[in-house]
Copies of this chain bind each other. A is one copy, B any other.
């Protein structure tokens, strides 16, 4: 891949250079990895920071419509917005979220917006690193806001919240019983809950759902990174473009408070340490993912299954085989 001068072009905000660099960090080839590492080191010196907003919501809550309306509102204020996705499901299905840019037709044509579909990935560990690097590239390219979208499945919320300055939960209006549907652990990660579809017939239900979640948020343990009264639940209508500016005002108020009180810096430092730890563990376990290692694991696993050797004995042999390489 031609990467000469790519860093400089990214720093000027060149979108094609940015797209190319993201392809580079997504590549599994060793030479691409080396180029990516070099590029990221160069760009880290820019010191630019975006506001990273993580957004989680199950299919059907209107995530694409929200991102489009919210994104257009931000670009309307002169801000530059990048949209990335963390998609744990693509590992299995081979599909990707955000894959169809027509879902966000207006935003994808906006010159101040950059939308990148999620690549098909083999594992969440790899997804996290590539997304982290894509965020760094968007920051260096001068985007003011980076929206990181995920479908609420398994561990993807943890990944996105560890990549974000603000983590938003987008929910649909629902009967009171369905409040149970959001796991407590996810609630505890949220910096803001937005009840979408507060329009037409669903407006009243959305208001009730919002009050339920506001109540639930008040019952959670107080977090040091929240000023009094936060985290908040609010209603929005992505379709009617209602409540988006108020939500953005709240996000900015929260961000300003966190910056002033040292939480912004502390959070980014803590996230960096988290990703360092994850990357070391991931690399150690990646030794099992080579074709030779997989073969040996399968062979020993079959022997263990028949009872020919014990799990511990087999593990000892596998570790010996790995250290011989």
Contacts and interface: CB of A to CB of B under 8 A. Distances in A.
A39 to B, nearest CB: 12
B319 A273 contact: no
User: How many chain copies does the complex carry?
Assistant: 2
Contact of A273 (B37, B132, B283, B304): B304
A173 to B, nearest CB: 21
B41 A315 contact: no
A59 to B, nearest CB: 19
A41 B272 contact: no
A307 B44 CA distance: 10
A276 interface: yes
A113 to B, nearest CB: 27
A270 interface: yes
A180 B306 CA distance: 39
Contacts of A276: 300-301, 304, 311, 314-315, 318
A9 B132 CA distance: 58
Interface stretch (A16-24, A200-208, A284-292): A284-292
A219 interface: no
Contacts of A279: 311-312, 315
Interface in A302-323: 304-307, 310-315, 318-319, 322
Of A44, A133, A277, A318, most B-chain CB atoms within 10 Å: A277
A318 B318 CA distance: 23
Contacts of A313: 37, 41
A232 B133 CA distance: 50
A320 to B, nearest CB: 11
B280 A319 contact: yes
Contacts of A275: 311
A129 interface: yes
Nearest to A296: B280
A84 B319 CA distance: 29
A310 B280 contact: no
Interface of A: 37, 40-41, 44, 129, 132-133, 180, 269-270, 272-273, 275-277, 279-281, 283-285, 287-288, 297, 300-301, 304-307, 310-315, 318-319, 322
